[in-house]
A and B are shown apart, each in its own frame.
Chain A
Amino acid sequence: MDLASLTASELAQWLCRGEIGAEEVTRAFVARVKQYEPAVGAFLTFDPEKALEQAAEVDRRRREGKPVGPLAGLPVAIKDNICTTDWKTTCASKILANFRPPFDATVVCRLRAGDAVLVGKTNMDEFAMGGSTELSAFKVTRNPWDLSRVPGGSSGGAAAAVAAGMVPLSVGSDTGGSIRQPAALCGVTGLKPTYGRVSRFGLVAFASSLDQIGPLARTAEDVALLLEVLAGHDPLDATSANREVPPYRELIQQPLPTIRLGLLVDQLGEGVDTDVAQAIREAVKVFANLGVEVKEVRLLHHRLAVACYYIIATSEASSNLARYDGVHYGYRCDEHRMEEQLAEERRRWAEKGPSSVAEEPDPPMVRLYRKTRAEGFGAEVKRRIMLGTYALSAGYYEAYYLHAAKVRRLIREEYDRTFQEVSALIGPVTPTGAFAIGEKIQDPLAMYLFDAFTVGANLAGIAAVSIPCGQTREGLPVGLHLQGPPFAEPLLLQLAYWFQRETDWHRRRPTLPAPDKPAL
């Protein structure tokens, strides 16, 4: 029996009944990682020893008849922008390459309290800025369905690890689609919870008003299982919702109520792969067979979403990332060389005489900042910092940031109005399946446009889920996007659960090269 082929919920049952032990489960997944990690490259930190220690502890507690948490013995991977005291938290950036936080993120505390077996940290685009995981400063992660393609991003490592069967559960973060998009491209289920549903304390901020931590797993049921542990009020996060966490697993299995879904027809036309559109139309039929009414709807403000998103997100990022300056922690440029260089510049400047006042070299402190940041950040991060700095500058603030804030409100209001008519929205997560590694790397705008369908949910702060619903002609997974009002996680996961009872897309597994064959 291949334990690694089971879902988290199935494993949890076996563990609960004592038919298998946490150590056994952990060993099975560790073996998978060892087999396929060289080909996939999902992890930045993988710590089988620590994982096995935690598993042994769970087994001991169970043997002694002590109570254990809902995730007891289940391996979980954590995206590397979520703080952990056990391991470095690099955000896949050179600037935090050796940073080990002095505290655990609230979600990490909750996972520990839920007796999860934490196995390591997954790869991502640097500071979660990107949609392909190619922008990691450390390694490329490959899509398990086609190793020449990207897994999506920024939670690419998290999605690839689940798709490759290296962990049953994984925790990502979603600022503009960073959970849903890789989940779609890797054929797994991923949820962006309502803003405030999961504490952000310990999530290294990209864009604070958009960031949200969420679960990735094989099935809606597994996502519900993990969400129950992640969600909840946190006094350390002022934006976290003080609202009870419902029993998601129980609720999603209830029969579907009589509801109406809104099909986002504008997302099935131009620029969208016909295979993707076809898969979504097939999904509509599945819902129709389940007795759900589907009505065509349009979100007019959505055409502004990408522009709005890239102003808000980059503005917040420009401020959030200001702290990486080499003064207090993290990467610092070679001071000795910097000082030598500066002395040389000063000497040359002095030779020029008093006419060149404006060309005076930086004071050392300013040079330290500039050089550290120039060397520590990757190109995309710098691009976004510059965009955001510009959007917030005096004279531009009104035209960019403030304008975007107003558009954001219109987008939210349009969602609100739409949810008066339909209970949830369905459409594609991405316009195409996974693209080839390197395909969009020279074209940031094409990369940004790939987020067109997902950023709206972040701007509005609503809940949204991605579930596998088909394949393209190349055999690449297609993701179905379900968006609901704030705190509609139970409904969205219920729809996903019943969809997955009727379909087997979520059960399909990529064929990875045999372990004895050389990895790509």
Chain B
Amino acid sequence: MQRPYEIIIGLEVHVQLLTQSKLFCSCSTEFGAPPNTQTCPICIGMPGVLPMMNRRAFELGLKTACALQCEIARFTKWDRKNYYYPDLPKNYQISQYDLPLGRNGYLEIRSPETGQSKRIGIIRVHLEEDAGKSMHDERAGKADSRIDLNRCGVPLLEIVTKPDLRTPAEAKIFLQELKLLLNYLDVSDCNMQEGSLRVDANINIGVNTPEGPIPTPIVEVKNMNSFRAVERALTYEAERQYQEFLETGRRLGQVPKQTRGWDEEAELTRPQRTKEESSDYRYFPEPDLVPVVVSEAEIERIRTSLGELPQLLRERLETTYGITPYDSDVLVSQGRALVQYFERVATLCGEGKLAANWVQQEVLRFLNEHQVSLDAFPLPPERLAELLIMVRDRKLDTRRGREVLARMLSTGESAEEAVASLGFVDVGDAEIEKICRLVIAQNPKTVADVKAGKIKAVGGLVGQAKKINPHVDPAKVREMCLRLIEETA
């Protein structure tokens, strides 16, 4: 579908880092504890306290910035962002302003439309502390607000993209790829329900006109609680901006930036109450913390510790095992453990495509059905490979292979044992030829049909053969019958 406008999207992602303790004190970061039980004088900013930097959080930040191909600042400092809100007890947030730990990076995604790779620029990556959570209860006219400070001081990584995304679908793909990357890095669990990944988007459109595109005012969209919501909200918002442009003709610069919130149920964005004047955060260097100097050696150590990341991993799987981009995508998106499992199976059975099919269909089905992770899968890769070798060598057809696998999973038998238990016999090629010759001789009519070009008719012969010996591989019988008929022609 050709839209009458181009969409321009930039994302601002906040990711909670997987640290045991908060960014500037030793309180636990665990989710779901009763309100205000994971706090101390430091994170609630009591008079006299000082922050202590969590080295681990800084390292996770560096790791991410490296994986996003950012330029790493050799010298970074902390800054205070001043604003008043009850969930921010110090009334300033410790963040990084003019010297973020990473800048000018990118993340490569595959565009859903073209299948082409595309680099999405990363403007900056910086660390900051999270605020607490306000819960507003406004029933019966009596406004009652409660504040939970458990989250206050939890380390957050802010990742800001360039406005390089051109469709809502692309924004979603970017987020999926980012999440996958952060999972591979063990930096964050990116759980949107628990708030460990939060996304805001800046979006406007360029309306096509003969004089060139006219940009509409930029809108910041908030309150999107899933990747799907991001896609839907942005699709809605782009179209809303187009309609608004048609009605008002307003373009970029004519109105101040607006903030709108996505209403999941109503499936629309609504203007959010914005502060009357634009806020002035009065950033200045945080005097309670010392600047952090990052050495070349440290950056090198982190770069080498990153491991193989999704983008390159997919490419390697495709070239090494001859699998399709679709297959590599499915496997890689399941995480490093499954990829390793696949690689072991593929290497042992010598057929990448076969291994990819079985891992995707059978292994993943089992994991989904049982809602377990790979370490709970009963078959080590060696066992699965034994089965796949039989399938590869056509000692078992796919259907029987699945039956064997099911038995292996339920009884713990090896592939060979399961085949025996099921009474499956491998019918040798000579025996198959004998049976085929027999059914050809007994069914001249069918043979004549085949010869006349009705290839489908050979199915009748396969059926006859199976009656004679139920263990024959139907594919092999079909092949053999056709060859023999051709020879007699």
Report A's interface with B, CB cutoff 8 A: 82-83, 89, 91, 96, 99, 101-103, 105, 200-205, 207-209, 235-239, 315-316, 318-319, 322-325, 327-329, 364-366, 369, 389, 392-394, 397, 401
Contact residues in A for B289 (Cβ distance below 8 Å): 238-239
- A-B pairs under 8 A by CB, number: 98
The list of the 3 closest CB pairs from A to B, nearest first, reads A322-B91, A208-B287, A209-B287
Tell yes or no: B49 within 8 A of A by CB: yes
Q: A304 vs B47: C-alpha distance in the bound complex, in angstroms?
A: 31
* Pairwise interchain contact A322-B52, C-beta atoms closer than 8 A: no
**Residue in A82, A316, A328, A389 whose beta carbon sits within 8 Å of that of B287 in the complex:** A316
Task: Add 10 more A-B contacts to A102-B46, A236-B52, A392-B284 (CB < 8 A).
Answer: A89-B47, A96-B47, A103-B46, A202-B49, A205-B48, A236-B50, A239-B50, A365-B86, A366-B84, A394-B280
Q: A91 vs B47: C-alpha distance in the bound complex, in angstroms?
A: 10
**Residue in A89, A99, A102, A392 whose beta carbon sits within 8 Å of that of B82 in the complex:** A392
Q: Mark B270-310, 1 if CB is under 8 A from A, else 0.
A: 00000000001011100111100000000000000000000
Q: A202 vs B288: C-alpha distance in the bound complex, in angstroms?
A: 12
Q: Is the interface of B mostly helix, strand, loop or mixed?
A: loop
Tell yes or no: B392 within 8 A of A by CB: no
Contact residues in B for A369 (Cβ distance below 8 Å): 84
Q: A91 vs B49: C-alpha distance in the bound complex, in angstroms?
A: 14
* Residue of chain A at shortest CB distance from B282: A392
Q: A74 vs B55: C-alpha distance in the bound complex, in angstroms?
A: 40
* Residue of chain A at shortest CB distance from B276: A358
Selected A-B contacts with CB under 8 Å, 20 pairs: A83-B48, A102-B46, A103-B41, A103-B46, A105-B48, A201-B49, A202-B49, A238-B50, A239-B287, A239-B289, A239-B290, A319-B82, A319-B282, A322-B90, A323-B91, A325-B84, A327-B147, A329-B46, A392-B82, A401-B284
Tell yes or no: B44 within 8 A of A by CB: yes
Contact status of A322 and B290, CB under 8 A, knowing A101-B48, A237-B50: no
**Residue in A203, A328, A389 whose beta carbon sits within 8 Å of that of B48 in the complex:** A203
Contact residues in A for B82 (Cβ distance below 8 Å): 318-319, 322, 392
Contact residues in B for A327 (Cβ distance below 8 Å): 86, 89, 147
Contact residues in B for A209 (Cβ distance below 8 Å): 287
Contact status of A200 and B282, CB under 8 A, knowing A322-B84, A328-B44, A392-B82: no
Tell yes or no: B391 within 8 A of A by CB: no
Contact status of A393 and B47, CB under 8 A, knowing A316-B287, A323-B89, A323-B90: no
Closest CB of chain A to B79's CB: distance in Å? 10
Residues of chain B in range 199-214 having any CB-CB distance to chain A below 8 Å: none
Q: A201 vs B51: C-alpha distance in the bound complex, in angstroms?
A: 9
Report B's interface with A, CB cutoff 8 A: 41, 44-53, 80, 82, 84, 86, 89-92, 143, 147, 280, 282-284, 287-290
Contact residues in B for A322 (Cβ distance below 8 Å): 82, 84, 90-92
Contact status of A393 and B280, CB under 8 A, knowing A96-B47, A238-B50, A316-B287: yes
* Residue of chain B at shortest CB distance from A93: B47
Contact residues in B for A96 (Cβ distance below 8 Å): 47
Contact residues in A for B44 (Cβ distance below 8 Å): 328
* Residue of chain A at shortest CB distance from B91: A322
Closest CB of chain B to A82's CB: distance in Å? 8
Contact status of A238 and B91, CB under 8 A, knowing A89-B47, A323-B45: no
Contact status of A201 and B290, CB under 8 A, knowing A319-B80, A392-B284: no
* Pairwise interchain contact A201-B47, C-beta atoms closer than 8 A: no
* Pairwise interchain contact B287-A238, C-beta atoms closer than 8 A: no
Contact residues in A for B49 (Cβ distance below 8 Å): 201-202
Contact residues in A for B284 (Cβ distance below 8 Å): 315-316, 319, 392, 397, 401
Contact residues in B for A319 (Cβ distance below 8 Å): 80, 82, 92, 282, 284
Contact residues in A for B92 (Cβ distance below 8 Å): 319, 322
Closest CB of chain B to A109's CB: distance in Å? 13
Contact residues in A for B46 (Cβ distance below 8 Å): 101-103, 329
* Pairwise interchain contact A102-B287, C-beta atoms closer than 8 A: no
* Residue of chain B at shortest CB distance from A104: B48
Contact residues in B for A99 (Cβ distance below 8 Å): 47
* Residue of chain A at shortest CB distance from B279: A394
**Residue in A103, A239, A393 whose beta carbon sits within 8 Å of that of B282 in the complex:** A393
* Residue of chain A at shortest CB distance from B143: A364
Contact residues in B for A202 (Cβ distance below 8 Å): 48-49
Contact residues in A for B288 (Cβ distance below 8 Å): 205, 208, 238-239
